[in-house]
Amino acid sequence: MKNISIISILMLILISVVNAEIKDCSEFDKLSKMYLKCTKDNLKYKSKKSGLTKKIENFKSSKTITEFLKKNKGVE
């Protein structure tokens, strides 16, 4: 449980760091489908730019923490 909370905090930090080409979603109503799609696209873009998706794939496929750390040594 502790590992999950640490990983989720790190994910939030990594996601908030990247702010390159993000769409402005304020033009849509917050309860509309377009607003949700816009925020989803922004999150996808942020996770791809930060390399987070590759790290999550490595975490899911590894069986031990040491295997995960070896896989992520080359990923940045």
Q: Which residues are CB-neighbours of 52 under 8 A, at least 6 positions away?
A: 11, 14, 15, 46
Q: How many domains does the chain have?
A: 1
| CA distance linking residue 23 with residue 14, whole number of Å | 18
Torsion of CA 53, 58, 63, 65, to 10 degrees: -90
> Residue 76: what pLDDT?
52
Q: Which regions of the chain are under pLDDT 70? A: 1, 10-20, 74-76
> Residue 51: what pLDDT?
72
Q: Which domain holds residue 20?
A: 2-72
What pLDDT, in 10s, does the model give residues 25-46? 888 888 888 899 889 888 888 8
> Residue 55: what pLDDT?
77
